[in-house]
């Protein structure tokens, strides 16, 4: 499935990244920069999405943190449908959660074809990388946090190179942050291709 095929909804990926390109364990280094502005914006984006998609590690962290948390963001997260892609997770303990043990690429492609609002995935771990590699991510938003830290890099060696087109760039919602939003560059390339001829 390509980004130019007709889908009922988009898949949005949102992640925090350090100045040196690390994406793993953001609570350990991004917390001091994530204030009221970022929280309000995150809620705004979440309210426009219908479901949250997660890998097993994100599910384990979120299902411990959010079910008993107060506030409108937690309320929205708890109420919305959630899909966990895992072959080892049994019955989920977080409400409104469905476990999908089959091929995540095939399953997410089907979710995108189903009618509804946009889908969102947080972070860029193994699951997020798989979705990018498969060409399923329609919009990638990176919030750059002004720290250098050790951890897993955004781009893992051995992956196929990917080109992205910048949609927006500017200050983040709290001091020190930068927000960058991209879409796969092939959207523009295919849209501008001449009619007729070989493709």
Whole-model pTM: value is 0.87
Nearest C-alpha neighbor of 89 from the set 97, 98, 81, 99: 99
Q: Which ranges constitute the DSSP H helices of the chain?
A: 36-47, 56-65, 72-79, 104-113, 126-133, 186-191
Q: Look at the chain and count its residues.
A: 199
Asked if 64 and 33 touch (Cβ cutoff 8 Å), the reply is no
Task: Give pLDDT tens digits along the chain (199 positions).
Answer: 344 356 679 999 999 999 999 999 999 999 999 999 999 999 999 999 999 999 999 999 999 999 999 999 999 999 999 999 999 998 899 999 999 999 999 999 999 999 999 999 999 999 999 999 999 999 999 999 999 999 999 887 777 788 999 999 999 999 999 999 999 996 444 444 444 434 3
> How far is C-alpha 16 from the geometric centre of its chain's CA atoms?
10
């Amino acid at each position: 499935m390509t980004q130019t095929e007709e889908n009922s909804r988009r898949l949005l990926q949102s992640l925090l990244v350090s100045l040196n390109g690390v994406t793993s364990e953001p609570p350990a280094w991004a917390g001091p920069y994530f204030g009221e502005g970022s929280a309000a914006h995150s809620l705004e984006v979440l309210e426009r999405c219908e479901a949250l998609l997660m890998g097993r590690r994100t599910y384990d962290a979120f299902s411990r943190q959010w079910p008993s948390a107060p506030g409108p963001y937690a309320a929205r997260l708890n109420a919305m449908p959630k899909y966990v892609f895992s072959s080892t997770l049994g019955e989920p303990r977080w409400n409104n959660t469905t476990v999908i043990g089959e091929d995540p690429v095939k399953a997410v492609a089907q979710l995108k074809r189903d009618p509804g609002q946009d889908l969102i995935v947080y972070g860029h771990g193994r699951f997020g990388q798989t979705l990018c590699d498969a060409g399923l991510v329609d919009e990638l938003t990176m919030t750059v946090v002004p720290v250098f830290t050790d951890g897993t890099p955004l781009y893992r060696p051995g992956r196929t190179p990917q080109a992205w087109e910048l949609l927006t760039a500017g200050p983040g919602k709290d001091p020190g942050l930068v927000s960058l939003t991209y879409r796969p560059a092939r959207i523009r390339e295919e849209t501008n291709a001449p009619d007729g001829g070989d493709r």
